[in-house]
Each structure stands twice: as structure tokens, then as C-alpha cells.
Amino acid sequence: MNKKDFEHYQNQSDEADFALLKEEMIPFSVLASILQSPCTDIFTNHQSAIICHSSSPHPVWIWCKDVENRSDVDSIARCLKEAFPLESGYSYNIGYELLDRLQETDDYYKNITVSMGLLSYRLDEIQRINYPCGGGAGEAREEELETLCRIWHDSCLEMTGTEHTFEHCKERVRAHLENHTLFVWRDDVGEIAAITAKGRVGEYSKISGVYTLPDQRRKGYAINLVSHVAKTILDEGLIPILYTNADYPASNDCYKKIGFRQVGSLCTVRREIMDFTGLKCKLESLGYRVTCFDTAAEAAGYLDQQIDHKTVGFGGSVTLEQMKLYERLSRHNTVDWHQRIPEGMTSREVRMKANGAEIYVSSVNGLAETGEIINIDGNCNRVASIFYGHEKVYLIVGENKIAKDYDSALYRARNVASPLNAKRLGVKTPCAVKGDKCYNCNSPERLCRGLSVLWGPPMTGEFEVVLIHEKLGY
């Protein structure tokens, strides 16, 4: 596994690499503490890049000292793809700049979405807060073990979606009790209303797992508890740090009131897999054959097998370009595509040949979950060719083309696909300037001349819709 790029350790800690994170200890404090305990996998070059996975379902942590170092970014891109593939459900905790570089480096990373923004904070000087509430803060006690385990279980489930066993929770709570690192807010009658933990990472101490019981929220317990724990950390001569979810402005404001200031940001990214089940059923009920693929490369491989020794016509398409389908199919088929005009032929001649081919391949501008397939065209060779005249038509659909219903799919075709195509082609239309929406122009270079809607597969020829779990084309 990328031995020349990284050393790979399994089920062990890596204290040596801990020091590499010194300059970025606050945003990467979780990674630093993971490195200090046995991890499932660590890949490191011991200088400028670390990839570390503690255990599933937790995210893979990725640190890169210099995101402008192309060689390191390439190595990280290869390693992640091989060891922690997104299609296997792994998520990554990663800096935004490194994410940008990965997306520039490799199309594989284009279709990932940021599921959570992580803000990191440090506290140098504590502020007085004015949120009076009943009860008080203190260390959690051994006799509260059962209650603490139940709260620990519920907090993990609510905050991370992970359901731990009671034994696991007990082990974690016990470790904190032994280390005196678990704190609670007890209300007026001595019941636990909120909990949080702290853990040392070098010269810092990280406050984590801040959780208020559902029926005790909005009473000021959490802010008072965090303030109390931050003070105990400062009294130890350490610097309090914490992470927050960027989507919760209310809790971020609370931490700022205590005196925490934001010093970094990371994000959690994953590949959100769209469920094609309902759409596949709908299209099949209309009479289409439907095939589904995780990646464009897999779909291209499938089409390369299916289409052999045929004449093939392609419609104008960024999707087909991204799939490199012309290059694959033309090795064993005769493919006509006006985006690859052979010497001595005109664009019109190529389009006409494509129109008469045995097989026609096109992407679409919009596909409604209710089954309508929409295309907009300028020369209209594509919309005409889809409708009639071939043995078989393949319609290739990246998941970004799918919309809820006919109106949304039409809106997407007119206001997303067409303006972006106009921008790409550099035509003189108002939409090409910003690529933001359709202005229903009267420009001589207007691209939108014909609209086709398939309510179902035409009665002659076979029609196959190829659904791909990637964003492809416009």
C-alpha cells in the first residue's frame, strides 16, 4: 500500500509523529490524541503528511503540512482512494485547502460533499458570563456511574449517530472518572443536567462532549459548565481548546461569550449516495431498461462491453467527455461525434452520420423522479437523434441531473444546464456572463432552440437509462 509514499502501521500508536502537529495542534488536536493510542491504521511519511483512522465509524483524519506540495497531495489522494474509499462509506476530516487541492488533483474527489464544518477555538482569558442558573458544577462521581453511562450513551447517539454498547460507555466513563476528567452540572435538586469531558493534548486541554439532557436545555447549564471546566484548565497552566459544529451558531456564540476565539477550521466530508431505487422502479415501469453505477468509470466500462462493432452516434455532451467514452468505444466501434470532427469532414456531416448510427449515446439536461427526461438543444441534432432511428439509445445521467418532478427538471435544464453550457462555449448571451440563470434571451447566439421531453421510451428501438452516482456534466 503506497510503501514508497507512506509507512503503514496497524493497531499501534505513533508518538513520534505527534510532534509534527506542533504548529497545528489546535485544529488537529483530535488527530494528535488519536496518534497517542492504538489506531486501526496510520499512514505517514514522518515529515509532512499523516493519514490516521482510529476505528469505524469515526472519520479518517488527514494532515498535510504544505498543501502546495503536489507530491504530498498526490500521495494522499492515492492512499485515501486505496485504503479508505469513499464508496465504502469512509468520511474524512480535512482542511478546506487540502480538500480544494484533492479536488483539483483527482476527479474522484469532485463528488464529495461537506457534511459538517468544524471550528476550533482556544481560550486565553476567561470572561465573566452572566447566565445565572440553579445548581453547580463539579467532577463526576463514582456513585453516579450508571446515570453517567446512560447520558454518555444518549449523547453519542444524538451528537454522532453512533450507538455504543453499555459496556463501551462504562469503559469510557470509568477511564474519565479515574483521570478526574469528567465534569457535570447538577441542578438545584442534585440531578445531573449536563456533562462534558476534558483531555490533555500537549500544552492544551480539549473540552469535548458537551451535552445537556433534553429536558434541561435553554437553562444556561452548558455555558456555566464549560466556563467552570475552562477555569480548571487555566488553573492547571494549560490552554483550553474545543471544537464546534459550524452549523450551530447558538453554541458557537456561547463559547465566544466565555472568551474562546476561533483559530482554525476543518470539515468532515463524505460521499452522499443518492438512493436510485424509486427512480429506477419508475423508469422501468415506463418501459426503460435501467442500469446503475457508483462511478463514471464503471459505467464507461459497462458501455464499452455492451457496444461492440457498431456504428455509434454521440450527442454533444460534457458528461461523455468526462467519461472518456469516445476514446474507449472508438477502439472497436465506428463513432461519430461532432466534438471529434475527423479531417476532411464538416460538423454537419458528422452530426448527420451520428443521426443515422445504429446506437445513439446522449446525456440529459434533466431527469424528473416522476420519469420525464428533458433535453434542450441549439442545433437540435441531439434532441432529434434521441427521438427516432436507432437500434438502441443510451441516456447517461449523473445524479446532479435528477430533480423532484417535471417542473424542477425543466427549471434545472433551463436555468442550470443551459447557462453553464453557454458560459463554457463562450457565446454572446446574457446567461454566459455569470452562468447563473436563463434570461430568455433573443440573442443571435441563443443556445436554447429546441426542448425535448420523453414521457416514456419511444415505441421503436430500445432505450436504456444509465444512472451514475457522480456529478457529471451540467
Interacting stretch for ligand SF4, rule CB under 6 A, among 236-244, 283-291, 323-331, 424-432?
A: 424-432
Nearest approach, Cβ of residue 290 and ligand SF4 (Å) = 29
Angle formed by the axes of helices 70-83 and 96-105, nearest 10°: 80
What CA–CA distance (Å, rounded) separates 41 from 51?
8
Closer to ligand SF4 at the Cβ: 264 or 419?
419
Is position 416 an interface residue for ligand SF4 (rule: CB under 6 A)?
A: no
Question: From CA 33, how far away is CA 21, in angstroms rounded?
Answer: 11
Contact status: 38 vs ligand SF4 (CB under 6 A): no
Would you count residue 446 as binding ligand SF4 (CB under 6 A)? yes
**Cα atoms in the 13 Å half-sphere on the side-chain side of 290:** 20
Does 418 help bind ligand SF4 (rule: CB under 6 A)? yes
Q: Is residue 422 a contact point for ligand SF4 (CB under 6 A)? A: yes
Q: CB under 8 Å to 156, separation ≥6 — which residues?
A: 162, 163, 164, 169
Contact call for residue 440 and ligand SF4 (CB under 6 A): yes
Cβ-contact 325, 361 below 8 angstroms = yes
Q: Where are the beta strands (DSSP E) in 250-288?
A: 260-270
Q: Which stretch binds ligand SF4 (CB under 6 A): 286-294, 324-332, 352-360, 440-448?
A: 440-448
Determine if 160 is a binding residue for ligand SF4 (CB under 6 A): no
For residues 31 and 50, what is the distance between their CA atoms, to the nearest angstrom? 9
Cβ of residue 165: shortest distance to ligand SF4, in angstroms? 56
* # residues contacting ligand SF4 (CB under 6 A): 14
CA–CA distances in Å: residue 194 to residues 142, 170, 324, 454: 16, 17, 56, 57
Find the binder of ligand SF4 among 438, 465, 466, 467 (CB under 6 A). 438
Cell numbers for 101: 487541492
Q: Pick from 29, 44, 333, 429 the residue near ligand SF4 by CB under 6 A.
A: 429
Q: Show the binding pattern over residues 361-400: x = contacts ligand SF4 (CB under 6 A), - = does not.
A: ----------------------------------------
**Alpha-carbon span 154 to 156, nearest angstrom:** 6
Q: Are 364 and 401 in contact (CB under 8 A)?
A: yes
Binding mask 448-467 for ligand SF4 (x = CB under 6 A): x-------------------
CA distance 196 to 182: 6
- The CB-of-241 to ligand SF4 minimum distance in angstroms stands at 49
